[in-house]
Amino acid sequence: MKGFGHFPLILLSLVLFALLPFLPFGVWQAFLLDVGFFVLLFTALALSWDLVARTGQLSLAHGAFFGLGAYSAGLLAPQLGTLPALLLGALTAGAGALVLGSVTLRLHGLYFAIASLAFSEVLRTLALKLPFTGGPIGLPVPPPFAGAWPLATYYLSFGVLLLATALSLWAERSPFRLAQAATRQSEAVARVLGVRVVQVKLWSLLLGSLVAGLAGGVYGMKTLFLSPYDAFSLGRAVEALVIPIFGGLYTTLGPLVGGVVLVSLEQALRLWIKEGYLVVYGAILILVILFLPRGLVGILGRRRG
Amino acid sequence: MGKVLEAAGVSKRFLGLQALKEVTLHLEEGEILAVIGPNGAGKSTLLNLLSGLIKPDQGRILFLGQDITHLPPEARTHLGLGRAFQIVQPFPELTVRENLLVGALFGKPGTSRKEGEAWVEEVLRLTGLQSRSEALAGDLTLLEDKRLELARALATRPKVLLLDEVMAGLRPKEAEEAVALVKQIRETGVSILFIEHVMPVVRTLADRVVVLDYGEVIAEGTYQEVAQDPRVREAYLGRRA
């Protein structure tokens, strides 16, 4: 199927990110690694959102999957160690997705968005009220591998992006893409053509939530502290959908390009303009959406699938 | 010859409106059956019930002897019950070939990508869409859209095909081509039930005609038989005061 034409570009950017810690940036090194970490993590989150959006489910629950992964991994890491905690964090997010998915099977587009928003709010309230989450005070999280390796969070983040990219490329190049596109464009017609719409939607939501949960787990290990308002932030769910819209929906390259450009732009603007950087950020977003309705990759002249 | 598709005493009510009332009809193997009737007679409701998009309040639907009343649409398609829509609904962001691949790959579970692609070539050839196979479905003309609608249903490899006014909006010359195509599809062993408004199409295409009015079957027979039925004339032309 389509999407393979961009493969060299995708591969090149991945190699660049893999080598970033070893490039000679002098005093900028630490700052760039920080930016790189967030670029990788939020790009992965954006890819995981796009994977779900390809079925017509506009998720506002990605902040919640992220938070579920972050809290579960943060709570389990002291007992189980870094990797098992991350894995269980992802699975917790996946379990949440199955709950959300099975009650929203008949919902589409904006209706799904509203239900997923409610889901998100419920989970944040739980994180505030449950006895073992630290409530509004928050939850300290140990660094990965007991802090033995300074580059650990960066490469964990890179790993999450690799996984997100691999899943997205698979979905884009396999018949699954047709099932997702058919489901998005008309559920009734897709069903009459034999597409198991319910399964396609549930699988997409599950895969997307696993990646989002994993990203959340890594995030906690970087910030070393979680609070319900940060981990379950609606702003993060919005960022997860702004990046694919900015870069190009329903593709692998779109969220990748969008994430690299937008997250670095945000970090750079924050550095240069400090107060009010969001005004410039917002203006750029609006301009791109107005003049590039198919996102940055629309410039490449490829159609959507 | 046996019954491939059967509706037995099927009723459907939408709020206050009795859309179908104990409708019983069947489709024979290899047959082309037309369901006609004035606007609002319940034809589209019948098709939606047969393809599973809505469920009947009463009655049963049998396909190849199996009770499919409670099966969802995709399961009916997997069994070999295909459907084309009246208002053409291509997936506009997919190419013609990809539209057909959806039907070919998912219409029969277990179809390999290679088999699906080969079958799509066959359907493209049969429906005369080869030259447009790489066009986006959103860019097609109405005639091409209608062909795609038929082709996509055919791509699911149906044993029975339900067609919802596929000739609507076509010019006579185009309708003739479409009629030829439907006949060709029947030659491949597919039984067909179609809804139609265009009477010349019904006359040339249908082996048998069922007439619906106010949700009930009021006549059944060959085109000549039902055309002379006084109840049918009344339904179409209005009752005498």
- Report helix, strand and coil shares of chain B as percent, to nearest 5: 40, 25, 30
Average pLDDT, chain B: 94
Nearest CA in chain B to A182: B91
Q: H-helix or E-strand containing B217? A: strand B216-221
- Nearest of A180, A201, A193, A195 to residue A251 by alpha carbon: A180
CA distance B24 to chain A (A): 23
Q: Are strands B32-36 and B191-195 parallel, antiparallel or unpaired?
A: parallel
Residue A264 falls inside a structural domain? yes
Question: Reading across the β-sheet that carries B3-14, which strands appear in turn?
Answer: B17-28, B3-14, B58-63, B66-67
Nearest CA in chain A to B79: A194
CB contact under 8 A, B94 and A189: no
Residue type, B8: A
- Identify all chain B residues contacting A191, using CB atoms and an 8 Å cutoff: 52-53, 72-74, 77
CB contact under 8 A, B105 and A175: yes
Average pLDDT, chain A: 93
Chain B contact for A190, CB < 8 A? yes
Q: Are strands B3-14 and B58-63 parallel, antiparallel or unpaired?
A: antiparallel
**Domain total in chain A:** 1
Number of inter-chain CB pairs under 8 A, A vs B = 81
- Banded pLDDT at B82 (limits 50, 70, 90): very high
Beta strands in B15-119 (DSSP E): 17-28, 32-36, 58-63, 66-67, 81-84
- What does the pLDDT read at residue A276? 83
CA distance A66 to chain B (A): 31
- What does the pLDDT read at residue A298? 85
Chain B contact for A182, CB < 8 A? yes
- What does the pLDDT read at residue B74? 97
Q: Which of A192, A197, A303 sits opposite B51 (nearest CB)?
A: A192
CB contact under 8 A, B91 and A303: no
Chain B contact for A304, CB < 8 A? yes
Share of chain B above pLDDT 70, in %: 98
What is the per-residue pLDDT across B88-106, written as a single tens digit (0 to 9) for each?
A: 789 999 999 999 999 999 9
Q: What integer is the mean pLDDT of B133-137?
A: 95
Q: What DSSP string describes A46-108? A: HHHHHHHHTTTB--S-HHHHHHHHHHHHHHHHHHH-HHHHHHHHHHHHHHHHHHHHHHSTT--
Nearest CA in chain B to A54: B93
Q: Which of B53, B107, B116 sits opposite A193 (nearest CB)?
A: B107
Q: Which of B83, B106, B108 sits opposite A179 (nearest CB)?
A: B106
- Identify all chain A residues contacting B104, using CB atoms and an 8 Å cutoff: none
- Provide the residue range defining the domain that includes A185: 4-300
What is the Cα–Cα distance from A294 to A257, expressed in whole angstroms? 13
What is the Cα–Cα distance from A53 to A46, expressed in whole angstroms? 10
Q: What 3-state class would DSSP assign to A10? A: helix
Q: Which of B83, B92, B113 sits opposite A192 (nearest CB)?
A: B83
- Identify all chain A residues contacting B93, using CB atoms and an 8 Å cutoff: 181, 185, 303-305
CATH number of the domain where residue A137 is located: 1.10.3470
Q: H-helix or E-strand containing B5? A: strand B3-14
Residue A305 falls inside a structural domain? no
The torsion angles phi and psi of A109, rounded to 5 degrees, stand at 50, -120
- Banded pLDDT at B239 (limits 50, 70, 90): low
Phi-psi region at B43: left, alpha or beta (left = phi > 0; alpha = psi -120 to 50):
alpha
Positive or negative: CA dihedral B49, B50, B56, B58: positive
Nearest CA in chain A to B109: A194
- Nearest of B43, B68, B96, B54 to residue B160 by alpha carbon: B68
- What does the pLDDT read at residue A232? 95
Tokens of B30: 């290899």
Positive or negative: CA dihedral A293, A296, A299, A304: negative
Residue A225 falls inside a structural domain? yes
- Identify all chain A residues contacting B73, using CB atoms and an 8 Å cutoff: 188, 191-192
Instruction: Print burial letters for A189-206: b (CB count within 10 Å at least 16), e (below 16).
Output: bbbbbbbbbbebbbbbbb
Residue ranges in chain A whose pLDDT is less than 50: 1-3, 304-305
- Nearest of A232, A171, A196, A204 to residue A101 by alpha carbon: A204
Beta strands in chain A (DSSP E): 139-140, 225-226
ipTM of the complex model? 0.93
Q: What 3-state class would DSSP assign to B148? A: helix
Q: H-helix or E-strand containing A30? A: helix A29-53
The structural domains of chain B, ordered by start, are 3-237 (3.40.50.300)
CB contact under 8 A, A178 and B152: no
Half-sphere exposure of A255 (CA within 13 A, CB side): 29
CA distance B107 to chain A (A): 4
CA distance A179 to chain B (A): 7
What is the Cα–Cα distance from A171 to A168, expressed in whole angstroms? 5
- Nearest of A65, A164, A177, A54 to residue A109 by alpha carbon: A54
Residue type, B176: E
- Identify all chain A residues contacting B74, using CB atoms and an 8 Å cutoff: 191-192, 194-197
CB contact under 8 A, A192 and B136: no
Chain B contact for A185, CB < 8 A? yes
CB contact under 8 A, A193 and B152: yes
Chain B contact for A106, CB < 8 A? no
- Banded pLDDT at B52 (limits 50, 70, 90): very high
Query: Do B150 and B166 meet the contact criterion of CB atoms below 8 Å apart?
Result: yes
Beta partners for residue A13, in sequence order: none
What is the per-residue pLDDT across A265-284, written as a single tens digit (0 to 9) for each?
A: 998 898 888 888 888 888 98
Q: What 3-state class would DSSP assign to B63? A: strand
Instruction: Print burial letters for A267-299: b (CB count within 10 Å at least 16), e (below 16).
Output: bebeeeeeeebeeebeebbeebeeeeebbbbbe
